[in-house]
Structure 1
Amino acid sequence: MIPVAWLDGALVDPEAPAISPLDHGFTVGDGVFETLEVRRGVAFALTRHLRRLEYSADRMAIGPLDSDLVRTGVEEALDEAGETATRVRITVSSGPGPMSSARGDGPHRIAVVVSDGAAPERCRAVRSPWRRNERSAIAGVKSTSYAENAVMVAYAASKGADEAIMANTHGHLCEGTGTNIFIERDGEIVTPPLASGCLAGITRGLALEWGARAGVPVRVTAPGELEMSVLDEVLGGKAAAAVTSSTRRVQHVQMLDGVELAPGRLLERLRGVFEAAADADLDPAPPRSK
């Protein structure tokens, strides 16, 4: 049975009306979300995703969030969905509110949807003409206020691509609309720092941890170390690129601005390390807080 929907503690008909037209998640995008891959019937890295969901809800002042309830919703929806499930989407909105930016009194709404959507098979990217604002009030938050990403994905599609890579306001390499980006050059793999305004991607974090553990030369750069112009090096064959996300995992950028690209040797090694580690541990523990 796909899709399967769970809302505020119970399974519901995914086709039935369930969200109020006054809900702030609908009217002003006042919510947060997580998308998870399903591996062998399990929501991969669920604990890490729940921790980031809590962080996003706290940053948005939507919390406190009952993570145990969300976990129960994910497990019940997956049990109902069966073996064909490939993806879990968790959405938390601030609840009903007035027709303005001001919030109502809540309570927030929690929705879990399990589907069998196919993962992207390849990455064909373009450089975005728009920039990520690293000074935004919701920089680094996985918010449902996703309109600018939707515009950039539509732009990418108009160019025959499926992802758009953007700089931040300083012109430094930042991220894709739904991905983090890794660059292989000069015998190492590097990725922009969170200070660039990029999302703290779950796959990004695991690729860094597992790659370093396996001896892959991979690191986070210093702020400003990666200019957007590094993509010219990728186009010229002096560097290689890959994107990471929950659905793409570690994926070679096959095309950039219409130019076919060869995969990086180290990036392919990192992809293999990630796949093996993910198969061995479906819910890797979050790093300890310092």
Structure 2
Amino acid sequence: MIGWLNGSLLDGTRHALSVSDRGFLLGDGLYETIRVTNGEAAHLERHLARLAHGAAVIGLPLPAVDVAAAVAAVITANALQAGSLRLTITRGSGPRGLLPPDAPDPTLLITAFPTSPQAAAAHVIVASRTRRNEHSPLAGIKSTNCLDNIIARLEARDCGADDALLLNTAGRIAEASAANVFALIGGVWLTPPVAEGALPGITRARILETGGREASLTVDDLLNADEIVLTSSLGIRAVKALAGKDLPANGPGASRLARVLFG
């Protein structure tokens, strides 16, 4: 696949980052995963707004680049009608140590991916090896430092599960390793508030705009829910089992929600 790196379209095998890039060395960066449908980046303005917010949180200057034009160029170069893009921005190269240079030169990389097969309903556990720190500014942004998420997903794999839910420091549900979580309770789709450690997901926001609500949720709340789904910009995945308890999978609520959001 053809990607975009700092102003140039490049074959996927030729992308090269500096050995002093802070994104590689320190996880000093942000990313967005963007769905491509009918040859267009879905909800691009929302993704760029979230990227700008994250950049402001960590004090990362965004490059003076027409990102929308770069995204369109990658889609065109790959003749990508359906799939996804990953937009990654780092603070660029810097000296040894934690403090960045006074005038950083950010790295911007856009990579393209074909459509992945539809994932089957998920068997999910509750992560025990790590928790989401809802008090950290990183909890609300798409940081390239995903080690908590990786630890949770490894635990899920070791348990023979597909994903893991992360609790926050108060023991309430925050999110899944790479998705928001919604529970259908009393006919309403409920999801943890951002203040509980949930990422402000793009699909999450769309569900809230169509009648979903924020609510603090516990593991017991989910175990007693009518349905549970994991949501991301790439789609909706039903949950068929949580912590060893079977749940209704691909129920009418999840199917209806998927049709409303993704057609």
Scaled by the length of structure 2, the TM-score of the pair is 0.92
CA distance in 2, matches of 1:41, 1:107: 31
Whether 2:81 is the aligned partner of 1:94: answer no
- 1:18, distance to aligned residue in structure 2 (A): 1.8
Give the match for residue 227 of structure 1: 218
Mapping of 1:3-42 within 5 angstroms? 3-42=1-40
Distance 1:107 1:49, change over 3 A: same
Identity %: 32
**Quick check: 1:54–1:65 contact (8 Å CA) kept in 2?**
no
Contact 2:165 2:176 in 1 (8 A): yes
User: Counterpart of 1:106 in 2: which secondary structure?
Assistant: coil
Task: Label 1:85 to 1:19 Cα distance change in 2 as closer, same or farther (>3 A).
Answer: farther
Q: Does 1:245 align with 2:237?
A: no
2:41 to 37, 40, 43: 43
Partner amino acid, structure 1, of 2:253: L
Counterpart-to-counterpart distance in 1, 2:160 and 2:81: 29
Displacement, 1:196? Answer: 0.6
Q: Is the 8 A contact 1:93 1:108 kept in 2?
A: yes
- 1-structure distance, mates of 2:14, 2:255: 44
Deviation at 1:44, TM superposition (A): 1.0
**Could you tell me which amino acid in structure 1 is paired with residue 261 of structure 2?**
F
8 Å CA contact 2:184–2:253 kept in 1: the answer is yes
Secondary structure of 2:3 counterpart: strand
Code of the residue aligned with 2:127 in structure 1: it is S
Structure 1: distance between partners of 2:258 and 2:191: 15
Shift, 1:232, TM fit = 3.0
Distance of 2:27 and 2:172 partners within structure 1: 27
CA separation of 1:114 and 1:17: change in aligned 2, threshold 3 A: closer
SS state at 1:183 partner: strand
Residue pairs, 1:153-172, within 5 angstroms:
153-172=153-172
Alpha-carbon distance, 1:108 to partner: 0.5
Could you list the per-position Cα deviations for residues 158-212 of structure 1 after superposition, in whole angstroms to 9, with x for gaps in the alignment?
1222221111101111101111111112232211111111100001001221x23
- Which residue number corresponds to residue 152 of structure 2? 152
Q: Aligned letter for 1:78?
A: I
Give secondary structure in 2 for the equivalent of 1:226: coil
Structure 2 CA distance for aligned equivalents of residues 119 and 63 of structure 1:
36
Distance 1:17 1:76, change over 3 A: closer
Distance 2:243 2:104 in 1: 45
- The aligned runs of 1:59-74 (5 Å cut-off) are 59-66=57-64, 69-74=66-71
Answer yes or no: is the 8 Å Cα contact 2:164–2:176 preserved in 1. Answer: yes
Contact preservation (8 Å) 2:172, 2:196: yes
Query: What does residue range 88-167 of structure 1 map to in structure 2 within 5 Å?
Result: 88-104=85-101, 105-122=103-120, 123-129=122-128, 130-167=130-167
- Kept in 2: contact 1:78–1:85 (CA 8 A): no
- Counterparts of 1:119 and 1:110 in 2: how far apart (Å)? 28
Query: 2:38, 2:81 within 8 Å by CA — same for their partners in 1?
Result: no
C-alpha distance in 1 between matches for 2:257 and 2:16: 42
SS in structure 2 opposite 1:164? strand
Distance (whole Å) between structure 2 residues aligned to residue 255 and residue 40 of structure 1: 33
Q: State the match for 1:284 in structure 2.
A: none
Partner of 1:215: none
**Farther-moved stretch of structure 1 (259-268 vs 121-130):** 259-268
In the alignment, what sits opposite 2:79?
82
- Tell me which moved more, 225-234 or 196-205: 225-234
Task: Indicate if the aligned counterparts of 1:188 and 1:266 stay in contact, CA closer than 8 A.
Answer: no
SS at match of 2:208: helix
SS of the residue aligned with 1:86? strand
Cα distance in 1 for partners of 2:40, 2:156 equals 32
Structure 1 residue 17, shift from structure 2 partner:
4.8
Q: TM-score, normalised by structure 1?
A: 0.83
